[in-house]
Amino acid sequence: MRTTDQMKLLMQKTLNCLIESLVVVTLCTLGLCKGKKKMSDQQVAQMTLLLTAALVLVDELAPALSGPLRQGLGFGVGAMMVGFP
């Protein structure tokens, strides 16, 4: 069982990942990504929660992959914003 300090750290990581996810999904919903399809509020919430869960799981289970994952995510969003094929 996890201690209180470990749970606090996990909650802090989850909050950080939630903020990151909100930023990425917000960029996509504002039309800055290639797909111009309008997303409903429910789809935005689902996408945010799914991305948050993925980031937290990678942070906890494979910390060596979390840096490259975030770099790839940032590169992908940036490339879509400038219209890179």
Q: What would the pLDDT profile of 37-71 be if each residue is shown by its tens digit?
A: 777 889 889 989 999 999 999 999 999 999 999 89
Residue 1 lies in a domain: no
| Largest interatomic CA distance in the chain | 47
Residue 85 lies in a domain: no
Residue 83 lies in a domain: no
Domain count, the chain: 1
Are 33 and 27 in contact by the 8 Å Cβ rule? The answer is yes
**pTM, entire model:** 0.80
Residue 39 lies in a domain: yes
Residue 33 lies in a domain: yes
Residue 38 lies in a domain: yes
Residue 44 lies in a domain: yes
Domain span at residue 34 reads: 17-59
Residue 24 lies in a domain: yes
